[in-house]
Amino acid sequence: MPAPKSEFEELHPCDFYTPEELFDADEMYTVYEIARLLQGLDADADIEPETENVLLDWAIPWVVENADDLVVAEPRNDDEPGYYGRKE
C-alpha cells in the first residue's frame, strides 16, 4: 500500500552510480558483487542471504538500465553466475 511522503523524515534523490563510477576498468563483477557495490559495500562483503536478495532487487534493474555501457562474460563454469564489466 502506498505511504504518504509526510510519513518519512527525509527524502533522498534517487541517484545511482554509473558503471564508470562503480567498476574498476579491468575487472568483471557478478550481479551479487554489483549489488554490494551499489550499497557502498566491498564486492566480497559477507552479508545474510535475505539481505542479498533485497540488494539484488536494486542490482538487476541497474544492470538493465546500464546495459549499453556494460560488457558481459559467460560463467567460467556451471556453478557460477555471469560477469559484467565496463565497456571500453
- Looking at residue 15, its pLDDT comes to 80
Using CA atoms, how far apart are residues 61 and 56, in angstroms rounded to an integer? Answer: 9
**What is the mean pLDDT of the segment spanning 59-84?**
94
Does residue 20 sit within a domain? no
Q: Is the pLDDT of residue 41 over 90?
A: yes
| Confidence category of residue 28, pLDDT binned at 50, 70, 90 | very high
> Which residue in 23, 42, 32 sits closest to 88, CA to CA?
23
Q: What is the pTM of this model?
A: 0.83
Give how far Cα 47 sits from Cα of 39, 44, 78, 79, Å: 12, 9, 23, 20
Q: How many domains does the chain have?
A: 1
Does residue 19 sit within a domain? no
Does residue 75 sit within a domain? yes
Domain around 77: 28-86
Does residue 53 sit within a domain? yes
